[in-house]
Structure 1
Amino acid sequence: MFFLQMSGFPGSGKSTLAREIAKITKAVIIDHDIVKSGLIEGLELEGVHDVDPKRAGGAAYHLEWSLVDFYLSQGHNVILDSPCLYDVLVEKGTGLALKHDANYKYVECILNDIHELNNRLTKRERMMTQIGPVDIPEERWQEVINRAKKPAHLPCMKVDTSQPLDDYLGAVIAYINKPDHNDRVG
């Protein structure tokens, strides 16, 4: 059993890769954008308007961790599709993997081409909580990419998502399936 924490800037290909991994491994995907958007939409239907997106994001993560915990407790492989911009996300993910004796895996999707990123962000059907094209100077782009938090003590995988998915999907599946003693937390 594994817990896979996806990481990467919005539009970098996390969700596309997560869906392909789930098809192959039968993993359950918990998508931060879906949970956060559903939470805000539900609150608005209940008459709560002007929801602070940052507070909604925090509440969404709380729900997501409850779902990760539940699905791991049932013996399911689980993928958390989220940008992973906070240390607490790595701490929570590694802690739940340890609790359920699951292999912890971390895949970071990297797209070094801001023009391609904006092309993807423009073409996708956006949920209410997803960003549109970004206006970041190219010289600052690497700094933005490097904001992702990752576990320093465990092997992580970076994938160049500017390449076709078929070029790296097999390597990602091999990484996830690799019975490496370093994958276990603790």
Structure 2
Amino acid sequence: MFFIQMSGFPGSGKSTLALEIANRTNCIIIDHDVTKSALLHSINEDEINGKPLGGIAYNIDFALVDFYLSQGRNVILDSPCLYDELIDKGTIITQKYNANYKYIECYLDDFVEINRRLKTRNKMVSQISEVKSLETFNRTLKSSKRPLNCKCFSVNSGKSLDTYINEVIDYINS
């Protein structure tokens, strides 16, 4: 049994890769944008701002991860990984269920391509539609968190998925 923690800038291809992994391994995807968008649709915007809402969404995400791992299912958490707490929760929950922890980063250091992808995707209410500045892009790209005691796998998601998917599957199975 495994738990995959996805990582990468919005628009870097995490959801595309997660879906392909799920199709090949029959695992469940917990998509942070779905959780957060559902919460946004459920409340009045004046009731709560985005930062606490993101934390609430992550708590729901991890409750679902816990639930599915408890049933012996493989799980992917599709979200950026910008907080140390996410790494901590991911590694603790895998220990609880004796699951293999896998960390997959979609890395795309291309401001223009990221913005093209963000502007052309079918956007959920919780998702950004563009990156306003190169400075913000670079700062966020560099602030991605990685586990210290785990072999991480990074893909150049500027390339076609079919050029790296087999390596990703090999990493998951290792």
2:49 corresponds to 1:52: yes
2:87 aligned partner: 90
Tell me the alpha carbon deviations over residues 80-122 of structure 1, each in whole angstroms, 9 at most, x when there is no partner. Answer: 0010100000000000000000000000100111111110000
Distance (Å, rounded) in 1 between the aligned partners of 2:98 and 2:165: 25
Shift of 1:50: 4.5
What are the within-5 Å matches in structure 2 for residues 90-169 of structure 1?
Answer: 90-137=87-134, 141-169=137-165
Larger radius of gyration: 1
SS at match of 2:159: coil
Contact 1:40/1:51 (8 A) holds in 2 = no
Gaps (5+ residues) in structure 2? none
Aligned alpha-carbon RMSD (Å): 1.4
Contact 1:85/1:147 (8 A) holds in 2 = yes
Q: What is the percentage of aligned positions where both structures have the same residue?
A: 52
126-135 or 27-36, which moves further after superposition?
126-135
Shift of 1:146: 1.7
SS at match of 2:131: coil
Contact 2:29/2:78 (8 A) holds in 1 = yes
Contact 2:28/2:74 (8 A) holds in 1 = yes
Tell me the alpha carbon deviations over residues 105-156 of structure 1, each in whole angstroms, 9 at most, x when there is no partner. Answer: 0001001111111100000011111001112237x74443121111011100
Structure 2 counterpart of 1:147, one-letter code: S
2:40 aligned partner: 40
2:65 aligned partner: 68
Distance (Å, rounded) in 1 between the aligned partners of 2:146 and 2:41: 31
- Give the number of aligned pairs: 174
2:11 aligned partner: 11
Using structure 1 for the length normalisation, give the TM-score. 0.90
SS at match of 1:79: strand
Distance (Å, rounded) in 2 between the aligned partners of 1:166 and 1:92: 31
Using structure 2 for the length normalisation, give the TM-score. 0.96
2:23 corresponds to 1:27: no
Structure 2 counterpart of 1:36, one-letter code: K
Distance (Å, rounded) in 1 between the aligned partners of 2:119 and 2:15: 16
140-149 or 95-104, which moves further after superposition?
140-149
